[in-house]
Amino acid sequence: MTAATLSPARPIMRWRVVDIVVAAVFAVAGGVVFWAWNIGYQVPSAGLEAAVARIGALTGGLWMMPGVLAGLVIRKPGAALFVEIVAAFVSMLIGAQWGADTLLSGVFQGIGAELAFAILLYRRFGFGVAVLAGALAALAEVPHELIVYYPGVSSAYVAVFIAALTVSGAVLAGVLAWALARALAASGVLNRFAAGRERRAEV
């Protein structure tokens, strides 16, 4: 998959059984990753925060990655949103420290990622789209974070937070999801998806 990856002019929007199964696998795996990162992010985040307030948001993008990955692979309306919400729900069930608010974050992040694919009519799924989806997932989460966790902070604080979270979304969600989708396609497990067929055509 390159930056020019382009699906047919009229992509098939109907979900297949295999789409549902893979979305469920991505969501559950994503939920487990979320749960682990809920603990693991604290050390690097604290180190970054010691340097610049709210630059610890650079660690936030990993929570947005499953939705972007689903959008790149499944390529159907709702895939990014569904996977991000279910992953957040799984994380909540197995002990996310933010409780039910974890699910709300999943909704916002999923909407942001979904928007990137919708803007391009579910026809482009290359590197640039992955980065855009990650960045939009982060931006969609910003208002929720500022209202719930950082009310009344200074404008400089807000600016650093937005920049850090957006960069993290673009890289940890966008670039990482793109690389993972390529790796999965190269392994052959995505042979029933356009992502897998495109990867085979490259080699």
Question: How many domains does the chain contain in total?
Answer: 1
5: in domain: no
Convert the pLDDT of each residue in 140-176 to its tens digit. Answer: 999 999 999 999 999 999 999 999 999 999 999 999 9
Cβ-based neighbours of 45, under 8 Å, separated by 6 or more? 56, 58, 59
Position 201 scores a pLDDT of 76
Cα 192 from chain centroid (whole Å): 22
State which residues form the domain around 190: 17-202
Judged against a pLDDT cut of 80, whether residue 10 lies above it is answered with no
What does the pLDDT read at residue 3? Answer: 43
Write down the pLDDT at residue 9.
53
Residue 30 lies in a domain: yes
175 domain-assigned:
yes
Q: In b/e form, how buried is each residue of 60-71, taking b as 16+ CB within 10 angstroms?
A: bbbbbbbbbbbb
Indicate whether 23 belongs to any domain: yes
H-helix or E-strand spanning residue 186? helix 176-187
Spell out where the chain has E strands.
Answer: none
42-70 average pLDDT score: 92
Q: What pLDDT score does 2 carry?
A: 47
| pLDDT for position 203 | 60
Rounded Cα distance between 84 and 99, Å, is 16
CA–CA distance, 83 with 29 (Å, rounded to integer): 10
Q: With the CA atoms of 42, 47, 53 and 58 taken in that order, what torsion angle do they form, in degrees rounded to the nearest 10?
A: -60
> In angstroms, rounded to a whole number, what is the distance separating the alpha carbons of residues 202 and 2?
9
Residues 6+ apart with CB under 8 A from 13: 76, 77, 122
For residue 99, tell me if it sits in a domain.
yes
What average pLDDT does this structure show over 92-109?
95
Its pTM stands at 0.91
Do the domain assignments include residue 28? yes
With respect to residue 8, please indicate whether it lies within any of the assigned structural domains. Answer: no
User: 105 lies in a domain?
Assistant: yes
Give residue 198's pLDDT: 85
What H or E segment, with its residue span, contains residue 87? helix 79-93
Separation between Cα atoms, residue 159 and residue 33, nearest integer Å: 28
Q: Is 124 in a helix, a strand, or coil?
A: strand
